């Protein structure tokens, strides 16, 4: 991995860490995005200086978010890992978390202590709903192209 690739991989680590995923998960995702072929766990450990546990956890998180997929190897328990896409999967995963957040906000409406608090809660809910709607439009337009 060259210096520019390492910079990108580390930036992805920082970005996904801001989304409450581990920095290692972001680094693994960044690395996988740059690879022409699926990667072995050994390669991820070596190239990213990560432990076996960190690679395993990162792989599970990426698969759970729909950002990576594992590929079984015949005659072996080992798996290859590859990025499952990019923007669409990342945005879709963000949207699912945003939907959960919106539901939590909506459920809190009856808990407010004043009309001002209820309005503030409504404004925040509307903001995140608008974000979600805009993102859904982007995904629909991209799927048509």
pLDDT digits (tens, 9 = 90+) for 34-60: 999 999 999 999 999 999 999 999 999
* Helix runs in the chain, H state only: 3-17, 23-34, 41-48, 52-64, 87-107, 115-144
DSSP 3-state of 72? strand
The reported pTM is 0.67
User: CA-CA distance, 136 to 138, in Å (whole number)?
Assistant: 5
Q: Say yes or no to pLDDT of 85 above 80.
A: no
CB contact at 8 A, 139 and 92? yes
Q: Say yes or no to pLDDT of 133 above 70.
A: yes
């Amino acid at each position: 991995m060259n210096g520019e690739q390492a910079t990108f991989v580390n930036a992805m680590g920082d970005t996904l860490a801001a989304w409450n995923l581990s920095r290692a998960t972001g680094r693994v995702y960044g690395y996988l995005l740059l690879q022409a072929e699926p990667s072995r766990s050994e390669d991820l450990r070596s190239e990213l200086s990560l432990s076996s546990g960190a690679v395993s956890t990162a792989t599970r998180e990426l698969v759970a978010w729909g950002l990576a997929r594992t590929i079984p190897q015949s005659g072996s328990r080992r798996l290859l890992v590859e990025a499952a896409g990019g923007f669409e999967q990342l945005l879709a995963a963000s949207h699912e978390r945003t939907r959960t957040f919106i539901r939590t906000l909506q459920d809190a409406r009856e808990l407010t202590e004043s009309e001002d608090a209820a309005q503030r809660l409504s404004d925040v809910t509307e903001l995140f709903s608008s974000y979600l709607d805009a993102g859904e439009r982007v995904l629909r337009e991209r799927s048509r192209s």
